[in-house]
Structure 1
Amino acid sequence: MAIQKLRITFQDATEVDVTPTLEDTLAFETTLRKNPQWGSLQSNAVKLNPFRAWNALRRSRQTELTWEQFTSGDTAAVAVEVIHDDAPTDDTEDADLGKGGTTDQPTS
């Protein structure tokens, strides 16, 4: 399984990349249990990655923002996106194999 990385974009266009861990996901679940007004895990799909990103920032001491500051007001993040690794896989390395070559040539 690949490690998921998240990119946080702030209002001033600053971008910060973080790598959430299991600790950040468990912190989200703990916070849900402590705040029943947030609802169930299923009803919080939109909050999951922003919370994991924020907690990863806090855990790595890259921010002192509270959750409320991270999600609203002048200090709020405007986006949290999953960073997709665009490196080619073994399957794509041979995608151009045979293109541009001569056709109908005998093999010996």
Structure 2
Amino acid sequence: MDIQTFREYCLKKTGVTEDTPFDNNTLCFRVGNKIFAILDIDKFESVNLKCDPEKAVMLRESHEGILPGYHMNKKHWNTVSCDGSVTSELILELVDHSYSLVFASLPKKLKEEING
């Protein structure tokens, strides 16, 4: 998985924006101004993705490249390695899951605005 493929995939999702609110190297993808993915632009060694707590534990137990979220709430976030130890397909599935969790948490009116 390379950063350009990852970025394009995220930006194709409805209502997604990107920014660097913390520093010039930390890229965040948001829906409804809530973050669903965080990564280092320069290194792209891993990405932090929101995850259902039960699924997060299962993923961590079954994949060496999935760890509790670095600098995040470890119950709700995973750090997913982009070094090939986690397949590109699974990374994109986890992006979808993260996006869906965040989108579902948005107020109804904002969801309607995003969906047009």
Provide the TM-score with structure 1 as the length reference. Answer: 0.30
Whichever structure has more strand as a proportion of its residues is 2
Q: Find the structure with the greater CA-based Rg.
A: 1
Higher relative contact order (CA 8 A, sep 6+): 1
Provide the TM-score with structure 2 as the length reference. Answer: 0.29
